Structure 1
Amino acid sequence: MSEAPVDGRAARAQRTRQIIADAHIALINDGELRPSAKQIAARAGVSQRALWDNFKDMESLMAGTARRQLAIQDADFIPVNPDLSLAERIGRYCDQRAGMLEALAPLARAADIQRPFSPALQENLRENLQRIRMAFEALFARELEDLDSAERAELTLAACATADWANWQLLRDQLQLPRAQATAVLYRTLSALLDTHRQYAGNQSNNQRKKQS
């Protein structure tokens, strides 16, 4: 009989954290890259005490907000069909990454400000890069399977660097490319990476057959 109230409190606490994180995201999307606790609490409709009861400091709040943004992103995620042609997979992957990065941009800019001083945000970045890597390896498994482990790792890391926020920010903010052109650059780069390594794998296979003959 005593477990139900505990479960209810846990559910309410989780809901409150979600409301606070959503308010934080909304403020950042409105252009407040470093909103105060007072602003966040007011936007969430909770007291500052409730905010600090759920997040011990601004770092844990930022990390919680990043997790909330990721959960929203995952809920809307539709995997690209791995049976499509290489060109179609690259195209859809690039369109998908562009959409994700555009949605993530305000929060990513806010995280960039605080990450040098935040172990939680540094860990969040490492986790995001790992997610990019795993998604790339799953979608382009056919192209990776003929490469040796070193080449496979090199190609995957190059693709992760290409598809990450830092590169997108360079294209959009520093070079001031429109989204369509930035997406085209992403497509061209990934196409070149995959085609070059496909040719490498083919040459390695031909050389191996020549040695055996």
Structure 2
Amino acid sequence: MDETQSPTKKGAADGRVQRSRRSRQLIIEAMLDLINEGVLIPTAQQVADRANIAIRTVFRHFSEMEQLYNELDAQIREHYLDLFRGGDRSGTLDTRLQHAIERHANAYTTLSPVMLATRALLWRSPTLTKCYEENQQKLRIDLDNWLPELKEVSTATREAIDAIASFDFWHRLHVSQSMSKSASVKIIADLIKSLLDDDRC
């Protein structure tokens, strides 16, 4: 900013910057609210209506929806990953496996709308495709941290375990097949344990 500007002009400029930031944040929050309510592919008009701003304001801040997807991911990624991090990772294989699947189940339940929206948009969004692939790799590493035994199994067994531990498999059991949370966790844990046992035979 030009330091020769009067305090009044500087104040006005600062106010515009703050309003611009606020509008940008309102857009991101509106997008996330719509997704969490089940609108998996919100339109720019829906976002504008929810944020109570003009649609031209949405496009002034985000000329393409890709930009909005990218900023939304940047804001929620750490929260997303924090849901998987932590937990007591000590104990026997059976104990660690149970805790890992329970933690994943809790995270999947919380993040279900965002994960479904991401899957619905992958076909048209390079940004979300990249973010999705990065997050999947981090979840794979996280499962390795829970279960160091996975580093010793065959490639086929490891890929099968990744599929069983995935959101897609969880959602199929818990939502599509109406299994309870505890029943879904048990099925997943039992399948992974069986694969580990078979691989070591």
- 8 Å contact from structure 1 (residues 101, 165) kept in 2: yes
Q: Which residue of 2 aligns with 1:162?
A: 164
Aligned to 2:37: 30
1:36 Cα deviation after fit: 2.1
Q: Is the 8 A contact 1:28 1:34 kept in 2?
A: yes
User: What CA distance in whole angstroms lies between the structure 2 residues aligned with 1:74 and 1:39?
Assistant: 28
2:142 maps to what in 1? 135
Match for residue 181 of structure 2? 179
Return the letter of the residue paired with 1:60: Q
Give the counterpart of 2:190 among 179, 185, 188: 188
Number of equivalent positions: 193
Using the TM superposition, name which of 9-18 and 24-33 deviates more.
9-18
Aligned-residue Cα RMSD (Å) equals 3.3
Matches within 5 A, 1:80-119: 80-119=87-126
Taking a change above 3 Å as real, the CA distance of residues 70 and 10 of structure 1, as seen in their structure-2 partners, is farther
| Alpha-carbon contact 2:48-2:55 (below 8 Å) kept | yes
The residue type equivalent to 2:166 in the other structure is: D
> 1:136 and 1:95 mapped to 2: Cα distance?
12
- Tell which deviates more after alignment, 181-190 or 154-163: 154-163
TM-score by length of 2: 0.77
TM-score, structure 1 as length reference: 0.73
The superposition leaves residues 141-168 of structure 1 with CA deviations (integer Å, 9 ceiling, x where unpaired) of 2x245x27xx2x4443222211222212
How far apart are the structure 1 equivalents of 2:134 and 2:18? 26
Amino acid at match of 1:136: L
Q: CA deviation at 1:79?
A: 1.4
Q: CA deviation at 1:76?
A: 4.6
1:61 is the counterpart of 2:68: yes
Instruction: Give 1:119 deviation, angstroms.
Output: 2.0
For residues 83 and 166 of structure 2, the distance between their equivalents in structure 1, rounded to whole angstroms, comes to 19
Offset from partner CA, 1:154-213 (integer Å, 9 cap, x none): 44322221122221222133322222222221111222223333x34xxxxxxxxxxxxx
Distance in structure 1 (CA, Å) of the matches to 2:126 and 2:96? 35
CA distance in 2, matches of 1:178, 1:51: 40
Shift of 1:18: 4.4
User: Does structure 2 conserve the Cα–Cα contact (< 8 Å) formed by 1:136 and 1:156?
Assistant: no
Contact 1:80–1:139 at 8 Å: present in 2 too?
Answer: no
For residues 166 and 67 of structure 2, what CA distance do their matches in structure 1 show? 23
Percent of aligned pairs with the same residue? 26
Paired with 1:188 and 1:111, the residues of 2 have a C-alpha distance of 28
Structure 1 residues without counterparts, runs of 5 or longer? 3-7, 201-213
**Alignment deviations for residues 70-117 of structure 1 (CA, whole Å, 9 cap, x no partner):** 222234554133332211111111111111111121122222322222
Structure 1: which amino acid aligns with 2:107? M
